[in-house]
Amino acid sequence: MALEKRRKVLVCSCERSMPDYGDSVARGCQGAEVETGNQFCGAELDRVRAFLSGTDAVTIGCTQQAPLFREVAEEQGFSGELAFANIRETAGWAEAGAAAGPKAAALMAMAAEPADPPEVVTLFSRGVILIYGRDETAIEAGRQLADKLDVTVLLSRPGEVMPHRVWDFPVAKGTIRNASGHLGAFELTVDDFAAPAPSSRDRLRFGASRDGAVSHADIVLDLSGGTPLFPAHELRDGYIRVDPGDRVSIAEAIWKAADLVGEFDKPRFIDFSASLCAHSRSKITGCTRCLDLCPTGAIAPAGDHVAIDAEVCAGCGNCAAVCPTGAASYALPAADALLRRVRTLLLTYRHAGGHGPIVLFHDTAHGEPLIDALARFGPGLPANVLPVAVNEITQLGVEAWTAPLAWGAAAVGALGPAKPKHDTAGIAANITIANLLTHSLGYGAQACGLIEADDPDVLASALDQVAPGVAPTQPSTFLPVGKKRHVLESTMVELHRAAPTPVDRVALPAGAPFGSLDVDVDGCTLCLSCVSACPTGALSDSEDKPALYFAESACVQCGLCAATCPEHVITLAPQLDFQAWRAPRRLVKEEEPYHCIRCGKPFGTKSTVERIVARLEGKHWMFTGENAQRIDVVRMCDNCRVEAVTNEGFDPYASPGRPAPRTTEDYLRERKASGDKPS
C-alpha cells in the first residue's frame, strides 16, 4: 500500500480471540508503521491516545469500538485521517483464521482508501399528514397523531362510522386515484370526494361528491388495505403502508409518522449528466435501460434525455449499473473510487502472500449482519474470501464484475437476500455479460455469480461451492480513474491484456451495451443523419470529404443510428472487439465530393448527385425537351442553384396542365359518338 501520508496501523487481537496479524499487515501495508495490541479499547487505550497525537493518518482494526476511538481522537485534537476496518468478524473469527493474515492486511489497506462523501438532498416536512383508511381504525390513528401532526383522515368507501362528539381534525370520504411525490411533497388526486354532513346522527353521512379533488400532504399513512399507491412503496420516503388488521404494525407506523417532521437529508445516489444520455434524438427512442429497471418510478423521459427525481430515488443503483454511456453513475461511492478500493484490496492481499482471492460484494443492511452471524455462530468466512461493502449490490456495473479478475481475483461474487427488495434483472444481465467475456478469455465459465442467502449456513454452503476460475499469470495493476465509461474502457483493455487465453472478439446477446454496426456500404448515401443522431460520438464524419467513421469503444448499441437511417442500411451487432477498443475510429465509407459545375464548391457526394441526375434527366417534365438543360441545377451547390433559378426564370410550378376530371357523362358521350350501345 503506497502512502503519501505517514500512517499508523493498529492491529488488535481483541483480547487474543483471534491471531496476531501484525507481521502479515506489515508485509502487505508497505510503508505504514504497524502496531499490535490485545485490547486497544480498554487496557491499552492510552496507547491509542498516543497514536492519535501528531499523526497524519491512523487505521484501527476494529469497528465495534469506532465511536470510542472517535471520541478519543476528538479529545486529543486529532485532525488527520481516521479509518476503521473490521478484521474480527471478516477474518479472525473463523475456522481458517490462522491463514487469514493476508486478508487482514488487505482489509486494513482498503479501509484507508479515501472516498468523497456524496451530495445530499434535503426533504422538508411540516407534519401535514393524510391518513387514508376505510373505518374507525384510520380515525383512531388520527386521534393519536392529532397532538403531534396536522391530521386529515380520508375514508375510502366507508361503512358504518359513528360521528364523534368533537372533531379534532377533518374527516372526509374519497378514493385516491393518482398519487405522486415524496416526503414533504405528496400530491393526491381524489375521486368521490365529499365532506361529512354536520347533522350526521347515528352514522356519518356525506354530502354531494365530486371527482378530481387534489390534496397535498407531507406524509401519507395508508391504512386502506388496498393496492399500494406507489410502485416499490416500501422505498418511498414519507409513505407508510400497513395492514389495517395488524395492531402492532399500526402502532409502529403511528410512532414512525410522528417523527417525520423537520428536515431530512438523504444522499444524492446518482450523478446524472444529461448530455451523455442516449435516450432519444429527434423524437426517436433509443436507450430505455434505466427506465425499464427503476423500481420507484424516479426516472422519466424528458426530451432527448431522461430526468432522475433525486427526492424519489431510493438508491438501488440499477440505472447506473446498466447505463452504457455513464450518463447515470453511482455516487455512493463513485465507480472509480469503489474500484480503487478493490484494487488496493487485491494488490495488498498478493503482497502479503495471499493466493486465490475471491471478492465478495455485499451491502451493509443485509450482508454485513449475515457475515457477522457466520463468524459468531458458524465457521466464518474462508481465508481467501475478501468482503467488500457497497451501498447496494444492484449498483455494480460490468466494470465492477470484471476489473477484480484483471487484478488477480479467482472469482467475484455478490451476496444478496433470498427475497431481494430490488429487481435483480439488471445485476443478472451484467453477470451474464461478465461471464461471457471472462469465459471467452479463459478466466472461467462462472467467474462471476450472485449468492442469495438469508441464513449463515446457506451462505457457508454457497461459498464452499464457489469454483475459483483461472487467475492471470501476470495480473494487471491499472489504476481506475475518470468517469464510469472511461473506467469501463480501461477495464476491458486490461481484462484482455491479462487474460489467460485471450481472444480478439466475443459475441454478446441482443441488448448488450457494447457492439459494432453492420453497414450496407453500397446502400449508404453518406447523408450522415446517423452521425447527427449518435449521442456518444461513435459515428463521426470528416471535414475534408464525405466520409463515415465508427469508433466501436464508444458505441452503446442504443439503436438511434439504425432508427434514423433513411436508407435502413444499419444493423446493430452486439459484441466486444478488444482490438477495435484499442484502435482509433475506422473508416466505414468514403467518397469524393461532387464539385459545383459553376463555382467549383464541393457539396454532396458524387454518387448521390449522379444518381439523382440519372433518375430525372429526360424522364421528368422539368428536364425534358426544351427544358433538358435545366438538369444542370442539380449539379450546382445551394447558392448557385438559387441564383440560376432566379436569373433564368425557372418556374417549378409551370408543369403541363392536368387533364379535366372524367365523369360518367363523359364516358356515355364517348360511347354514343362511337356508336356503341349500352349493355
Q: What does the pLDDT read at residue 168?
A: 85
Highest mean pLDDT among 76-80, 340-344, 519-523, 669-673: 340-344
SS3 for 412? strand
Q: What is the overall mean pLDDT for the chain?
A: 92
Q: What does the pLDDT read at residue 201?
A: 81
Closest to 259 measured CA to CA, from 229, 230, 238: 238
Summarize the confidence of residues 498-527 as an average pLDDT.
Answer: 94
Q: What does the pLDDT read at residue 319?
A: 96
Please tell us whether the domain made up of 125-265 is placed in CATH 3.50.50.60: yes
CATH class of 515-590: alpha beta
Residues paired with residue 576 on neighbouring β-strands, in sequence order: 506
SS3 for 542? coil
Summarize the confidence of residues 236-254 as an average pLDDT.
Answer: 96
Residue 606 has pLDDT above 50, yes or no: yes
Q: By CB neighbour count within 10 A (0-12 exposed, 13-18 middle, 19+ buried), where does 677 fall?
A: exposed
Q: How many CB atoms lie within 10 A of CB 657?
A: 5
Q: Which residues, other chains included, contact 508 with Cβ-Cβ below 8 Å and sequence gap of 6+?
A: 433, 436, 514, 515, 574, 575, 576
Q: State percent of the chain over pLDDT 90.
A: 76
Q: What does the pLDDT read at residue 672?
A: 78
Confidence of residue 661 (pLDDT cuts 50, 70, 90): confident
C-alpha grid cell for residue 112?
Answer: 484507508
Enumerate the domain spans of the chain: 125-265, 268-330, 515-590, 616-679
Confidence of residue 2 (pLDDT cuts 50, 70, 90): very low
Summarize pLDDT for 102-129 with one digit per residue, the tens: 999 999 999 999 888 889 999 999 999 9
Question: H helices within 217-334, ranges in order?
Answer: 247-258, 289-293, 318-322
Q: What does the pLDDT read at residue 658?
A: 64
- Please provide the size of the chain in residues: 679
Q: How many CA atoms lie within 13 A of 511 on its CB side?
A: 11
Residue 461 has pLDDT above 60, yes or no: yes
Residue 3 has pLDDT above 60, yes or no: no
Summarize the confidence of residues 454-464 as an average pLDDT.
Answer: 96
Using CA atoms, how far residue 440 sits from 10, 12, 471, 516, in Å, is 43, 44, 14, 18
Confidence of residue 292 (pLDDT cuts 50, 70, 90): very high
Confidence of residue 594 (pLDDT cuts 50, 70, 90): confident
Residue 29 has pLDDT above 50, yes or no: yes
Cα 568–Cα 616–Cα 612 angle in degrees, nearest 5: 40
Confidence of residue 22 (pLDDT cuts 50, 70, 90): very high
- Compute the distance between CA of residue 534 and CA of residue 550 in angstroms, rounded to an integer: 11
CA 342 to chain centre: 20
The one-character DSSP state at 337 is: H
User: pLDDT: is 604 or 63 the higher one?
Assistant: 63
Q: What does the pLDDT read at residue 678?
A: 56
- Compute the distance between CA of residue 354 and CA of residue 346 in angstroms, rounded to an integer: 9
3-state helix/strand/coil string of 252-275:
HHHHHHHCCCEEEEEECCEEECHH
Handedness of CA 210, 213, 217, 219 (dihedral sign): positive
Closest to 336 measured CA to CA, from 348, 349, 326: 326
Q: State percent of the chain over pLDDT 70.
A: 96
Minimum mean pLDDT among 240-254, 382-396, 397-411, 602-616: which range? 602-616
- Please check whether residue 603 is in contact with residue 549, taking contact to mean a CB–CB distance below 8 angstroms: no
Summarize pLDDT for 68-87 with one digit per residue, the tens: 999 999 999 998 899 999 99
Residue 441 has pLDDT above 80, yes or no: yes
Summarize pLDDT for 568-586 with one digit per residue, the tens: 999 999 999 999 999 889 9
Summarize the confidence of residues 629-645 as an average pLDDT.
Answer: 85
Summarize the confidence of residues 205-218 as an average pLDDT.
Answer: 93
Is the bond into 546 cis (omega within 30 degrees of 0)? Answer: no
CATH class of 268-330: alpha beta
- Please check whether residue 296 is in contact with residue 236, taking contact to mean a CB–CB distance below 8 angstroms: yes
Q: Which residues, other chains included, contact 140 with Cβ-Cβ below 8 Å and sequence gap of 6+?
A: none
Residue 523 has pLDDT above 70, yes or no: yes
Residue 466 has pLDDT above 80, yes or no: yes
Burial readout 184-220 (b: 16 or more C-beta within 10 A, e: otherwise):
bbbebbbeebbebeeeeeeebebeebeeebebebbbb
Closest to 502 measured CA to CA, from 487, 488, 492: 492
- Compute the distance between CA of residue 575 and CA of residue 556 in angstroms, rounded to an integer: 11
Summarize pLDDT for 542-576 with one digit per residue, the tens: 888 889 999 999 999 999 999 999 999 999 999 99
268-330 shares the fold of 125-265:
no
Minimum mean pLDDT among 119-133, 302-316, 367-381, 603-617: which range? 603-617
- Please check whether residue 482 is in contact with residue 469, taking contact to mean a CB–CB distance below 8 angstroms: no
Q: 499 in the Ramachandran plot: left (φ > 0), alpha (ψ -120 to 50) or beta?
A: beta
User: pLDDT: is 496 or 3 the higher one?
Assistant: 496
